[in-house]
Structure 1
């Protein structure tokens, strides 16, 4: 939880720093940054439990005549440490239970949608609905669902652009990325967490727009379809296992702007990758140092309270 709070507070700075990157690399960096907190927490526990390694990170202090590197020292019958450990275990159990329940509900909804759909458009699943909708659903084996209303409204070339966009979502496993980002930021404050999720969705949409532009050798057709669909905003939430391509006017402006900037290939230079790797590594190292040092002292303090 402490690691999540620290990464959340630093997120606005990270958000500004990665803003110039292409959406594909930006989405990877954003997801890896969100993963630094749980990874640092696990590594900190391992480090604190091994005295030789902990000596490099924990401030020097003594317990009686023992002034060498050591694992945390606490009273065997510490009531407060037991209570904190119990609460922590219950929180982890609750999170795991909620995650499994979410997966079960998502799979059930996906089965229902698949049962209602039939194959008719270029082998894709089509729903008998007058609404103009298209989804990329599923986590590990995503599939594309679109409504008959969308098929009726769009020209064949426009529909091909939409399907290319959704196929890019499937190939990038964007639903899985969104699912991971949702749970990796579970301990972030609400406002920052929602901002990170919105940013993640924007990255995915922009990256898939650029992929569609590459497939059609230009952005003009993609821009035309985005503007056409934005004229009528019909939203059905995709939830954890799917996302709808139907967008509002604000989304359309941002996505068209990226396409018209000329960044058609969404390429990241070796320098961009190197900068991202070094920065994430340094951030992870700093977080491990803070968590290891703080957790060592916290465990010993909590462990000093005896029944």
Structure 2
């Protein structure tokens, strides 16, 4: 194995370990942040929760890059000596021994696990979208696809190019203004690419922490729904019309034993309450949020760089590999 390949394998394994540990920390801290986050307006809450979900992965990448780049590794790693190498800040390296054989195997296993995690859901999403669109007919007047079905449902399908799909029963059983509210809600999902947002947030969370991370993912889902309710209400000019459409559509949903898609969502009570309550004024500009989260991740990575560096070296010493 070439030194470059071994170094890349070490970087990947380090990034995976940092990702998992920082995800565990986020899962522990999130309940303490949750009360303050829920006070934000739905759109701002959506952006913040998306950024928080991505933070472990961002931190892992930032820490690994800072630890290995010649231009940055001296910023956080104190100069120190190793017998036969000399002194000076440097990135962890592997120079033979058992670890040089184990690291590539671990890296390949991690890459395979990542692909197995990403590809099957992606294929299922694509297959579902193709099946629904194949059963539908385009309605240019409504800018959506319509399926001739007796079940009441409204869906946004597709990740990169989302499209709205409605059932004929929904249009026939709801009043025109209620149907317009549902359609506007789904169009907001498509415009915001909420399916892609939630899929990426789920991928960014370490798999083994999916249970501990579910409150954040549930809150992100609820925030997306409420943000789309708010956009539909703004377009219609009446928040109560959207609340009425939600309640009416919920009453038309299939019973649980019917295997049909549905517009009904969990958090319906919270969605109605958010529509009836006065609009929340808090706003968190997205550019400022992205800059703040990135600075936080880079700062934390820089502060912990020396500890990460020496931890990697101790692992190598444990398997008797001199850096």
Normalized against structure 2, the TM-score is what? 0.81
CA distance in structure 2 between the partners assigned to 1:292 and 1:235 by the alignment = 55
CA distance in structure 2 between the partners assigned to 1:290 and 1:80 by the alignment = 27
Match of 1:190 among 210, 225, 249: 210
Q: Does 1:297 align with 2:310?
A: yes
Contact 1:23-1:203 within 8 A present in 2 as well = yes
Q: Per the alignment, do residues 4 and 287 of structure 1 end up closer, same or farther by CA in structure 2, a change over 3 Å counting?
A: farther
Q: Per the alignment, do residues 198 and 184 of structure 1 end up closer, same or farther by CA in structure 2, a change over 3 Å counting?
A: same
CA distance in structure 2 between the partners assigned to 1:165 and 1:30 by the alignment = 20
CA distance in structure 1 between the partners assigned to 2:208 and 2:117 by the alignment = 17
Match of 1:39 among 58, 77, 81: 58
Superposed CA deviations along residues 176-233 of structure 1, whole A, max 9, x for unmatched, are 1011111011346233322122111101110000001101112010111112223354
**Can you give the 5+ residue segments of structure 1 that lack an aligned partner in the other structure?**
237-242
Aligned to 2:22: 3
Contact 1:31-1:181 within 8 A present in 2 as well = yes
Instruction: Map 1:86-101; keep pairs closer than 5 Å.
Output: 86-101=105-120
**Partner-residue secondary structure (3-state), 2:87:** coil
Instruction: Map 1:31-180; keep pairs closer than 5 Å.
Output: 31-51=50-70, 53-64=72-83, 66-74=86-94, 76-80=95-99, 82-120=101-139, 122-180=142-200
Aligned to 2:301: 288
Q: Does 1:261 align with 2:277?
A: yes
CA distance in structure 1 between the partners assigned to 2:255 and 2:276 by the alignment = 25
Q: Per the alignment, do residues 163 and 146 of structure 1 end up closer, same or farther by CA in structure 2, a change over 3 Å counting?
A: same
Q: CA deviation at 1:288?
A: 1.3
Aligned residues: 295
RMSD between aligned alpha carbons? 2.7
Q: CA deviation at 1:167?
A: 0.7
Superposed CA deviations along residues 72-114 of structure 1, whole A, max 9, x for unmatched, are 254x223135424422331222212431232223212211111
**Partner-residue secondary structure (3-state), 1:24:** helix
Contact 1:5-1:187 within 8 A present in 2 as well = no
Aligned to 1:212: 232
Normalized against structure 1, the TM-score is what? 0.85
Aligned to 1:240: none
CA distance in structure 2 between the partners assigned to 1:114 and 1:275 by the alignment = 38
**Partner-residue secondary structure (3-state), 2:278:** coil
Contact 1:126-1:145 within 8 A present in 2 as well = yes
**Can you give the 5+ residue segments of structure 2 that lack an aligned partner in the other structure?**
1-19
CA distance in structure 2 between the partners assigned to 1:258 and 1:23 by the alignment = 9
Q: Does 1:223 align with 2:243?
A: yes
Q: CA deviation at 1:138?
A: 0.7
Q: Does 1:19 align with 2:51?
A: no
**Partner-residue secondary structure (3-state), 2:156:** strand
CA distance in structure 1 between the partners assigned to 2:53 and 2:224 by the alignment = 16
Q: Per the alignment, do residues 273 and 287 of structure 1 end up closer, same or farther by CA in structure 2, a change over 3 Å counting?
A: same
Q: CA deviation at 1:172?
A: 0.6
Q: Per the alignment, do residues 100 and 73 of structure 1 end up closer, same or farther by CA in structure 2, a change over 3 Å counting?
A: closer
| More displaced 10-residue stretch of structure 1: 146-155 or 77-86 | 77-86
Q: Does 1:245 align with 2:263?
A: yes
